[in-house]
Structure 1
């Protein structure tokens, strides 16, 4: 492909690839030298040239190099559109889901629904790209635009026609998804998170709403969780963008819950939905616990229905859904029948939702083990301590990913909100203690890391899995019984 085909005022030189990572530059590549919050891509231009870059994409600051430089006001946006043009193909029906919590589950549930009704489908996000060939790790909830477009091209070439993507606030703010041709979008919720990046909640919400204001085309469906505190604001944004709102949840206007009956391993949903011939109702036996799982599944169903899927086929598919790894996932049961669950909840709202979801399914106590990550929003630490103390019967505060911070200081901040909690240094020991306390009818919620398989301490990633730690502790505690 020629530079002039994707960049204005560029020469007719051939190029063979694009990247914003100088380490990935190969002969014939365009190097996007983008200024970030930590480093400046311009510092690596000479390295890119030495590796064979044929052109530079960068911002409008002064600077001259030995190869052509395309200077633009928004190099991230231009990179996204250039990547889309370079790879040239993506699944025919693309949807994106944004929100603080529930994105991974929702896109995976939608992939499963589409698959069950006979469509070749995939999902892309925190858990990687999941398609006909299995899962491939991508490294970020919303990868950089080159990775996004290359992944979508691979999926399309595998025959995928329907793909659901997570849209993080970082990804939306940094134009990583621009160039993706969407058929619909969905908004789940908004709660305190990423305030180390966004200046406040309004800025965070505005970033999320770029999905509706800049990416979903006019007239396309905008599925909105009607039970979110931000429902009215999201609805107003969708309507102003001339989208077609489709609200779901207890307060939904298009697909709504009349009643939920919790069961040990799932829940019975009594649903109604809007049709041209009046409202209709059905019963769905959802094989997942937790009200928020029901809302995530409902959002996935709403996306499928808003794009034309036959409702009864969608409801049938919901009864076969499998939970997403690390999202309210049942890891094991003790010999006395207590459940051990792992969940990714790492925000105040996420922890609140998790512990509330556990309560109807626990005949006994709810025990919670959690910590908070270092080098992230410190303000949420005591808040999460308060939430854990309020909604769990017993709380064990431990380490998450301390990163460069002192783990003890992070735990101390959490303990200010949970003065009656037990503090245990070392996540494996805390998990073992939580399991040792379990009695018949209890549930243990291990929150914060979910699917992750490493723990970040002082810049180094150490192998660690909540799943493996729980199973190991259970084997040790019950091995001699």
Structure 2
């Protein structure tokens, strides 16, 4: 491919594209993108020293190489990535919302695979495809990483793919050159207010997926349990899109009844007017919501209803999402979950309650450099819904961990404070009696703890296993 094919006034060949000057090699286009933390234009000289063939940016710049000025350089960057790394699976579903994206796209992948499709999904948990797992660095990858992933999946024979669409990714045009077959929405609650100015700004970033990026003739599946879902459904209907409404109040797939069992749930669904009873092999009401969103997306992408419902009875959980990490010798279960918002923690604790005869104990903290307003609110949720609360560190990042804990404790003043997360997990396990349940929230699948600028190896699941062994439960 040449620079001219990407919009430059030059026929020089292009060997790559990046917005990180450190990754520039001879023949690369460097996208000097303005950012929230730093301005990519500061690194143009470094990119040129590394052999950049051309520069994409904004504003009037005098450079010794071909330069493309763009009023929306992030959009131009995404469009270039789509040309340079062409190709994507024939069916591509994008899923957005605050909570449940990772589980929903993974459940959809499992339904597709059950139906015999070559299926993949990617997002927070990395890429899961027929050829195996590989990691990703962001929920919605950088535009180049995104199109490389899509192109690779197509080359591997994947025909059906589901991806998470974060508000950051949508706001920063990362998905603008992707061809979306169908889109889904889970819910919207407080999160990322360190990036978005308010709830309306956050919602409108999510709504871009439907109003601007999903074709008007493409189907959408929306959980209408909350006011934002209902508003989004109305927006899509006014646009002329085919809307499938799901959830407890869903018109097309309605959850009628849920009966918890020890590690599963008997769920009665009304699907397009017909009642169906299934056993979902997962604990937690929120998993039912994720499963019905996946069911709806499977139906609108061509999977027949009976096959899709049968697939629900064969689902397996997602790493770090209500993951059963172990149990005491008396049978008290220990769950690890990614819940890191007020709504996520609320849903998690309410979900384990029907499966627990004794006390529910929760260990959690809040991340640094992220939305401080939610800290006391999460503390209030824990105090209200758990019988025992231990406040610990999450990913302090560049904040003082003790100050973060102090803010959380405003909402749960009677909680126990243990900064060392490993020790907090051990203490939670020590407190377990027969028929109790321990929930460790906030980090889920993560394999490290971010302290300052360092990532210290740390896994909640591994800590549980080590603590159980140390305490004589194994």
TM-score (norm 1): 0.97
Aligned pairs for 1:288-437 (under 5 A) are: 288-437=282-431
Q: Is the 8 A contact 1:120 1:159 kept in 2?
A: yes
CA 1:357 to 1:122, structure 2 compared with 1: closer, same or farther past 3 Å? same
Q: 1:105 corresponds to which residue?
A: 103
Q: RMSD in angstroms over aligned alpha carbons?
A: 1.0
Q: 1:5 corresponds to which residue?
A: 5
Deviation at 1:55, TM superposition (A): 0.6
Deviation at 1:230, TM superposition (A): 1.3
Whole-angstrom CA distance in 2 between matches of 1:429 and 1:102:
29
Deviation at 1:87, TM superposition (A): 1.3
Structure 1 residue 51 corresponds to structure 2 residue 45 = no
Whole-angstrom CA distance in 1 between matches of 2:238 and 2:85:
32
Q: 1:77 corresponds to which residue?
A: 75
Q: Which runs of 4+ in 1 moved over 6 A?
A: none
Whole-angstrom CA distance in 2 between matches of 1:160 and 1:256:
31
Whole-angstrom CA distance in 1 between matches of 2:145 and 2:452:
28
Per-residue CA deviation, residues 434-458 of structure 1 (Å, 9 max, x unaligned), is: 0001111111000000000101112
Q: 1:470 corresponds to which residue?
A: 464
Aligned pairs for 1:70-219 (under 5 A) are: 70-219=68-217
Per-residue CA deviation, residues 236-285 of structure 1 (Å, 9 max, x unaligned), is: 221233221101111111111111110111101111111xxxx2121111
Whole-angstrom CA distance in 1 between matches of 2:230 and 2:139:
26
Q: 2:16 corresponds to which residue?
A: 17
Per-residue CA deviation, residues 403-425 of structure 1 (Å, 9 max, x unaligned), is: 11111111111111101111112
Q: May I ask how many residue pairs the two structures share in their alignment?
A: 474
Per-residue CA deviation, residues 348-371 of structure 1 (Å, 9 max, x unaligned), is: 010001001111010111100000
Per-residue CA deviation, residues 130-162 of structure 1 (Å, 9 max, x unaligned), is: 101111111000010000000111110000000
Aligned with 1:247: secondary structure?
Answer: strand
Whole-angstrom CA distance in 2 between matches of 1:403 and 1:240:
43
Q: Is the 8 A contact 1:224 1:248 kept in 2?
A: yes
Q: 1:31 corresponds to which residue?
A: 30
Aligned with 1:230: secondary structure?
Answer: helix
Unaligned runs of 5+ in 1: none
Q: 1:247 corresponds to which residue?
A: 245
Per-residue CA deviation, residues 43-98 of structure 1 (Å, 9 max, x unaligned), is: 11111111111111111x22211101100110111111111111111000000000
Deviation at 1:12, TM superposition (A): 2.3
Deviation at 1:11, TM superposition (A): 2.2
Whole-angstrom CA distance in 1 between matches of 2:128 and 2:134:
7
Whole-angstrom CA distance in 2 between matches of 1:29 and 1:214:
30
Whole-angstrom CA distance in 2 between matches of 1:24 and 1:244:
43
Whole-angstrom CA distance in 1 between matches of 2:168 and 2:450:
21
Whole-angstrom CA distance in 2 between matches of 1:26 and 1:238:
44
Aligned with 2:98: secondary structure?
Answer: coil
Q: Is the 8 A contact 1:188 1:228 kept in 2?
A: no
Aligned with 1:153: secondary structure?
Answer: helix
Whole-angstrom CA distance in 1 between matches of 2:265 and 2:424:
30
Structure 1 residue 41 corresponds to structure 2 residue 40 = yes
Aligned with 1:303: secondary structure?
Answer: helix
Whole-angstrom CA distance in 2 between matches of 1:474 and 1:419:
28
Aligned with 1:430: secondary structure?
Answer: helix
Aligned with 2:78: secondary structure?
Answer: helix
Whole-angstrom CA distance in 1 between matches of 2:5 and 2:442:
45
Q: Is the 8 A contact 1:93 1:161 kept in 2?
A: yes
Deviation at 1:178, TM superposition (A): 1.2
Q: Is the 8 A contact 1:223 1:245 kept in 2?
A: yes
Q: 1:234 corresponds to which residue?
A: 232
Q: Is the 8 A contact 1:91 1:162 kept in 2?
A: yes
Q: 2:446 corresponds to which residue?
A: 452
Whole-angstrom CA distance in 1 between matches of 2:314 and 2:230:
32
Whole-angstrom CA distance in 1 between matches of 2:401 and 2:104:
32
Q: Is the 8 A contact 1:212 1:241 kept in 2?
A: no
Whole-angstrom CA distance in 2 between matches of 1:6 and 1:273:
47
Whole-angstrom CA distance in 2 between matches of 1:309 and 1:256:
18
Whole-angstrom CA distance in 1 between matches of 2:98 and 2:216:
24
